[in-house]
A = this chain, B = another copy of it.
Amino acid sequence: MRVTVLAGGVGGARFVRGVRAAMPDADVTVVVNTGDDLWLTGVRLQPDLDSILYALAGVNDTERGWGRADETERVSAELREWGAGWPWFTLGDLDLGTHLARTGWLREGLTPTQIAERLAARWPIGVRLLPMTDAEVDTQVVLADGRRLHFQEWWTRHRARLRAVAFENPGIEFAAPAPGVVAAITGADVVALAPSNPVVSIGPILAVPGVRTALAEAPRVVGVSPIIGGKVVRGMADACLTAIGVPTAADAVARHYGRRAAGGVLDTWFLALEDADLAPALVDEGWDVRVAPLWMNDLEASAELARTVLTV
Contact = CB atoms under 8 A, between A and B. Distances in A.
Interface of A: 39-44, 72, 74-79, 81-85, 93-94, 96-98, 100-101, 103-107, 118-119, 122
Given A77-B97, A93-B75, A94-B74, A43 B82 contact: no
Given A41-B100, A74-B72, A105 B93 contact: no
Contacts of A93: 74-75, 78, 93
Query: How many copies of this chain are found per oligomer?
Result: 2
B78 A98 contact: yes
A39 B107 contact: yes
A42 B41 contact: no
Question: What 5 A-B pairs have minimum CB-CB distances, sorted nearest first?
Answer: A78-B97, A41-B104, A84-B101, A42-B103, A82-B101
B78 A104 contact: no
B94 A78 contact: yes
A276 B298 CA distance: 78
A97 B82 contact: yes
Interface centre among A43, A100, A103, A104 (most CB of B within 10 A): A100
Given A42-B42, A78-B100, A82-B101, 19 more contacts: A40-B104, A41-B100, A41-B103, A41-B107, A42-B44, A42-B104, A43-B100, A72-B74, A74-B74, A74-B93, A74-B97, A76-B97, A77-B97, A78-B93, A78-B94, A78-B96, A78-B98, A82-B97, A84-B105
A76 B101 CA distance: 10
Nearest to A41: B104
